[in-house]
Chain A
């Protein structure tokens, strides 16, 4: 089978699996949300510090909460069938619009973090494996342990104290200087200044995971026969490490990175809160607190689609990296 046909098969299989997965997620999440105490109207009325009885009834009708649960679910599914994520009466705006204004922010945050985490993880892991048991390995293991066990919000807050309060180098929140109307290169520089701390804070935990993973799989592979053969045919240790060992060690890394795409979305919610970054994670958090089910379902639906796409890309990468993997097994 050619690489192209294997990739095509992967795409096809993912598409077929995605539909029931998404359907299952919608129904499961919808029912789970019903179990949370209180509804959107309780929150609105609570925030307003009271409301009349007529007002409560009027709001419940407007939110569609006066309907039985099953009817609400059917209405939602019907909306989905028409490619609509519904309407949020709380924000008086279509859910799609609410999500789309925030999705780019979160995607950029996640992609940059993932990129940094993978590159740093590979470099650190390779160094640790190459100097196994020696001081660079010990030192980096300690760093990885610290990154692994320190919560992202703490790293973020400390980075803010140091870089924006003490030194005043970086802004303390948001994703762009509001109202500056920047264009071109200035815009990119401004955005980068805002993004660097949140991206690093989010990446920290994953750097640790990936570095440990790369180290372990490189050590395992370095004892295999083909590595000995490579050494025997006179290749330099550097070439053997990079071309033979590292390439094979990338396969488990990519699998794990794909799986952690969803985890990262959870971490993004925390980092977005600390850095006041306008993203999906914070919207999801607010939607839970506000019992705004339409918004939350929309976010979960889109994030599950994102995770499915990420996993599909991983499968394709695998098919490309390792010719032995068949796309249809």
Chain B
């Protein structure tokens, strides 16, 4: 027998075995009713509905009560939630949603198309991202109580991925109508259609959700009670998992240094699925208005001096993948896998700096620079420390500057008093929503956080991004994004380094918590306890 054939044969057996195994586990694990699930967050949400903020803590809890029209599988293909089916007109300007019948709000009122129309228009008006996502929505028609038609002025190819519960919650019109949505009490004691009813929120301590016995998708939900606790200290979170007081936490809820120890714990398991609704990319962003970094050679030299593989190890203890592009490798449809034109090469880096006129001084350094890092998580600090040591090898004397989030945001985006920064951004569910903001010259605004911090201006890139906003042919759209990535890679307004891998940590008694693209941020209707 020829070796290649044998190999193929073997792999086919393996495939059959995997399928059989997964089928058998699916049959073996009948969801069990009852129990209390303890979900832990790193800090307390400011509000419980993602209408006025999309901070992670609020995203974590919102969908348990306030559902969306759709949910998404791991590859971001839409699945029914409050909408049972949907069609998009060939010109991409009309989205028709057929709504689920017999769904009731937690206060007993019927859920209808009027709620959907109200929600979409309110999101368009005040939701931090909805303002942009739904910008093209001109009106929402409601021909009957169970049909909602979104009419767009221009096509929006990313829109079909925007209807997840936590991203675009469907709100009860009868609660909000005629009030100021920003101060409406529903934000603190929400009413929704979801699997869990809000019970109490003891500020500073916890939130309790009770099982909704009248949920439209019976026999779900399986658990009796969902308790959300806030553990501000990372060491305390680790301890809570070890003692079993915490059942579930996501986006790597413990210090990365603890993960190896956690792997050996008998009661705890890891899950990496359910993080595909929001891939992040960590990068080094230059201020192109800075006297050193307006020079392309200097930026290229720095790109040559950074080894992304080491960045993954140092910044993320190996829990991440190298990303040369601002579009994360996880967003497979659009990620351009070609490597950066400026591969790791210290010799070339030194030569470029010499060419740029930065000779080494008596102390071995060419120039000094201050690096600000985003303080929102420790990985940026570690990446900044790696950058400092890497750049010292090419004669750049880097000083790190620490500050809290508010000071960082003001320094970088309002005062623009920075030279370069280690920062991170979410791709969200589409590059138009998550990546365009960083490179589009029309998104350079003083005071707007996580906008075009580099002050990158390239008319060709602008055109590519704007074309991708309305291109409904997926192949053409992917080509536009590939061109965009190549263009940005050459210009190096920033150096994209790592796409971190988020890990969901759960007690082994918890099952089916990450069945959708947004995992723990979903409504958790399927979760059950052994």
Task: Identify the A interface with B (CB < 8 A).
Answer: 36-39, 42-56, 58, 62, 89-93, 97-98, 101-102, 105, 153, 157, 160-161, 164-165, 168, 171-175, 178-179, 273-276, 278-279, 282-283, 286, 289-291
Partner of A62, one of B182, B203, B451: B182
Please tell me if B343 contacts chain A, counting CB pairs below 8 Å.
Answer: no
Set of chain A residues within 8 Å of B231, measured between Cβ atoms: 173, 276
B2 to chain A, nearest CB (A): 54
Q: Give CA–CA (A275, B229) in the complex, Å.
A: 12
A84 to chain B, nearest CB (A): 16
Of all chain B residues, the one with the shortest Cβ separation from A283 is B204
Of all chain A residues, the one with the shortest Cβ separation from B405 is A46
Listed by A's residue number, 18 A-B pairs whose Cβ atoms lie within 8 Å are: A36-B407, A38-B406, A38-B408, A45-B409, A49-B425, A53-B448, A54-B131, A92-B183, A105-B204, A153-B233, A171-B245, A172-B245, A178-B205, A274-B233, A274-B235, A275-B236, A276-B233, A283-B204
Task: Identify the B interface with A (CB < 8 A).
Answer: 36, 43-44, 46-47, 53-56, 126, 128-129, 131-132, 182-183, 187-188, 202-206, 208, 225, 227, 229-233, 235-236, 239-240, 242-243, 245, 376, 403-411, 414, 425-426, 437, 445, 447-451
By Cβ-Cβ distance, the 4 closest A-B pairs, closest first, are: A38-B406, A278-B204, A47-B55, A278-B205
Set of chain B residues within 8 Å of A98, measured between Cβ atoms: 203
Q: A174-B229, A278-B204 are in contact. Are A164 and B243 (CB under 8 A)?
A: yes
Q: Give CA–CA (A160, B53) in the complex, Å.
A: 35
Cβ of A168 and Cβ of B243 under 8 Å apart?
yes
Cβ of B46 and Cβ of A175 under 8 Å apart?
no
A288 to chain B, nearest CB (A): 8
B423 to chain A, nearest CB (A): 11
Set of chain B residues within 8 Å of A274, measured between Cβ atoms: 233, 235-236
A215 to chain B, nearest CB (A): 34
Set of chain B residues within 8 Å of A161, measured between Cβ atoms: 239
Set of chain A residues within 8 Å of B245, measured between Cβ atoms: 171-173
Q: Give CA–CA (A168, B267) in the complex, Å.
A: 14
Q: Give CA–CA (A283, B512) in the complex, Å.
A: 34
Cβ of B208 and Cβ of A179 under 8 Å apart?
yes
Set of chain A residues within 8 Å of B225, measured between Cβ atoms: 179
Set of chain B residues within 8 Å of A276, measured between Cβ atoms: 229-233, 236, 240
Set of chain B residues within 8 Å of A91, measured between Cβ atoms: 46-47, 203
Set of chain B residues within 8 Å of A58, measured between Cβ atoms: 126
Q: Give CA–CA (A53, B187) in the complex, Å.
A: 23
Of all chain A residues, the one with the shortest Cβ separation from B56 is A47
A309 to chain B, nearest CB (A): 23
Partner of A173, one of B36, B128, B236: B236
Of all chain A residues, the one with the shortest Cβ separation from B407 is A37
Set of chain A residues within 8 Å of B425, measured between Cβ atoms: 49
Q: A55-B131, A278-B205 are in contact. Are A173 and B239 (CB under 8 A)?
A: yes
Partner of B203, one of A53, A102, A153, A172: A102
Partner of A46, one of B46, B235, B236, B406: B406
Other A-B contacts than A48-B449, A91-B47, 9 sampled, CB-CB below 8 A, are: A38-B410, A39-B406, A42-B449, A44-B55, A53-B448, A105-B204, A164-B239, A179-B225, A278-B202
Of all chain A residues, the one with the shortest Cβ separation from B205 is A278
Cβ of B409 and Cβ of A43 under 8 Å apart?
yes
Set of chain B residues within 8 Å of A168, measured between Cβ atoms: 243
Q: Give CA–CA (A91, B52) in the complex, Å.
A: 11
